[in-house]
Amino acid sequence: MEKKKNISMAVIKRLPKYHRYLGELMNNDVDRISSKELSEKIGFTASQIRQDLNCFGDFGQQGYGYNVRELHGQISNILGLTKVYKTAIIGAGNIGQAIANYTRFEKLGFSLEAIFDVNPKVIGLRIRDVEIKDIDFLSDFLKENPIDIGIICVPSNNAQKVCDTLVKNGVKGIWNFAYVDLVVPEDVKVENVHLSDSLLTLSCLLTDIE
Amino acid sequence: MEKKKNISMAVIKRLPKYHRYLGELMNNDVDRISSKELSEKIGFTASQIRQDLNCFGDFGQQGYGYNVRELHGQISNILGLTKVYKTAIIGAGNIGQAIANYTRFEKLGFSLEAIFDVNPKVIGLRIRDVEIKDIDFLSDFLKENPIDIGIICVPSNNAQKVCDTLVKNGVKGIWNFAYVDLVVPEDVKVENVHLSDSLLTLSCLLTDIE
DNA sequence: TAGATTGTTAATCGATTAACAATC
DNA sequence: TAGATTGTTAATCGATTAACAATC
């Protein structure tokens, strides 16, 4: 096993979109596609598509294009969708509950193992068969049940503390919905969903200036 | 009023982060900050910070740095936070309800005017004093009540249809949580929150390849 | 074989960083 | 005035696009 060292973040950020479009093509029983055709659907240039894919291997065939099913499988592989990731949600507020209720993530191979919260009113409740546990037991739980991805949905002021607990107990992936930038060791990966940033970006695009 | 024509998306995407960090500095009663100090906090280079800010004006002062309160105000202005945006949520499922329950967006000047759904079980319910309306009345509602930003939280297969209705009734900003790429006229801006893409990016970062 | 389309190198474009004169 | 720090130009770096030989 060797790290994907030289793959730029720009490329990685495009991979999920390839995965999605190829999945749709598969569902529509399309067998093959050229970079040119895919380009028209997905909105990247054909050149960029070929460059991106060639970061990972020679998946195409001259004169033919790409086999949709095979390419989808390759990208699934690159995205790490061939294994099951164990996840835990910390914070069962609005966003935590929303994420817990999603079923799409399960289908992609992300298994929700536990939910934690501080609020006695929600502790003991169940979301899709997963009981909300007292956050005081987070550390103990992680020691017994290794988790791959911690999904942080607590208020910003508690997020770093929760993050530290996760990291201390071996969690290597953090999906962070709190509006803070978390500090983690180098081997821990953080992916932020900063909804306010997203909304402000939109607001900026809608605004003219003097 | 003149368009921010030559500002790259890379710069725009950083603005919310400036806004957030400067807001925190203000809360901590910091009066002035140099690009170097801000660089250490925010994680961009000092040079990049100065370049970014100079896209919009000369906000600093040689030998002194930037006045925190003034710079925060300028960025609020650039982000369009000086006006109130009227928003409507379409789709009162998990994510729609979560967004509706957020109060931070109200504080930033985004006012939730209405919520729509197809499900008779939720129509008539209220989230923070906003009643969930029948989606059949969306078009009529928009004609009477101009909306700046439509927040699409319906399932992917209905998203484009909802989007078309919004656009047809003058909505210029779409905050899209559905997992599709929407087609809109050039003068309509779409900001996507594709949670699956985000999770898959994280999964990719956690994965080694052969 | 002829046509199509890849993989890949080279050229271009854009974004980031470095440097420094201007100036508070 | 001396020191600090900006605004801005120039240099570098990286990402995208174009071009085309290789080859199915």
pLDDT in tens, B165-187: 999 999 999 999 999 999 999 99
Q: What residues contact A161, with CB distance under 8 A and at least 6 apart?
A: none
Q: How far apart are the C-alpha atoms of A180 and A157, rounded to whole Å?
A: 8
Q: What residues in A contact B99, CB-CB < 8 Å? A: 94, 195
- Cα maximum dimension of chain B: 63
Residues A70 and A95 in one domain: no
B169: Cα separation from own chain's centroid: 20
B136 min Cα distance to partner chain A (Å):
25
Of B95, B91, B166, the residue nearest A198 (C-alpha): B95
Residue B155 lies in a domain: yes
**Residue B120: burial class (beta carbons within 10 Å; 0-12, 13-18, 19+):** exposed
Q: How far apart are the C-alpha atoms of A178 and A176, rounded to whole Å?
A: 6
Q: Report chain C positions within 7 A of protein CB atoms.
A: 2-9, 14-19, 22-24
Instruction: Indicate which of A149, A171, A200, A210 best probes the interface with B, i.e. most B CBs within 10 Å of its own CB.
Output: A200
> Is residue B191 over pLDDT 50?
yes
How much is the mean pLDDT over chain A?
A: 96
What tokens does B198 get? 């985000």
Residues A94 and A155 in one domain: yes
Domain end position, chosen among A78, A102, A120: A78
Q: What whole-number percentage of chain A has pLDDT above 70?
A: 97
Q: What residues contact B178, with CB distance under 8 A and at least 6 apart?
A: B152, B153, B154, B155, B156, B158, B159
Residue B38 lies in a domain: yes
Q: Which residue has the higher pLDDT, B120 or B4?
A: B120
Domain that holds residue B126: 85-198
Name the band, by pLDDT with cuts 50, 70 and 90, for residue B81.
very high
Residue B206 lies in a domain: no
| Contact call for A13 and B201, based on CB within 8 A | yes
What tokens does B48 get? 């990049």
As a whole number, mean pLDDT of residues A108-126 equals 97
- Number of structural domains found in chain B: 2
B78 min Cα distance to partner chain A (Å):
7
Domain end position, chosen among B63, B78, B93: B78
Q: How far apart are the C-alpha atoms of B193 and A204, rounded to whole Å?
A: 16
Domain end position, chosen among A52, A78, A104: A78
Query: In the β-sheet with A32-33, what is the strand arrangement from edge to edge?
Result: A32-33, A65-67, A60-61
| Other residues' Cβ atoms within 10 Å of the Cβ of residue B59 | 15
B115 min Cα distance to partner chain A (Å):
16
Residues A109 and A152 in one domain: yes
Of A80, A154, A181, A139, the residue nearest B14 (C-alpha): A181
Of A43, A56, A94, the CB nearest to B102: A94
Name the band, by pLDDT with cuts 50, 70 and 90, for residue A4.
low
Name the band, by pLDDT with cuts 50, 70 and 90, for residue A175.
very high
The CATH number given to whatever domain includes residue A119 is 3.40.50.720
> Is residue B1 over pLDDT 90?
no
Helix (H), strand (E), coil (C) string for chain B: CECCCCCCHHHHHHHHHHHHHHHHHHHCCCCEECHHHHHHHHCCCHHHHHHHHHCCCCCEECCCEEEHHHHHHHHHHHCCCCCCEEEEEECCCHHHHHHHHCCHHHHCCEEEEEEEECCCCCCCCEECCEEEEEHHHHHHHHHHCCCCEEEECCCHHHHHHHHHHHHHCCCCEEEECCCCCCCCCCCCEEEECCHHHHHHHHHHHCCCEC
Query: In the β-sheet with A130-134, what is the strand arrangement from edge to edge?
Result: A126-127, A130-134, A110-117, A85-90, A149-152, A173-176, A189-192
Helix (H), strand (E), coil (C) string for A80-131: CCCCCEEEEEECCCHHHHHHHHCCHHHHHCEEEEEEEECCCCCCCCEECCEE
Name the band, by pLDDT with cuts 50, 70 and 90, for residue A113.
very high
Residue A19 lies in a domain: yes
Residue B209 lies in a domain: no
Of B105, B107, B165, B113, the residue nearest B135 (C-alpha): B165
Q: What residues in A contact B194, CB-CB < 8 Å? A: 16
- DSSP state, A61? E
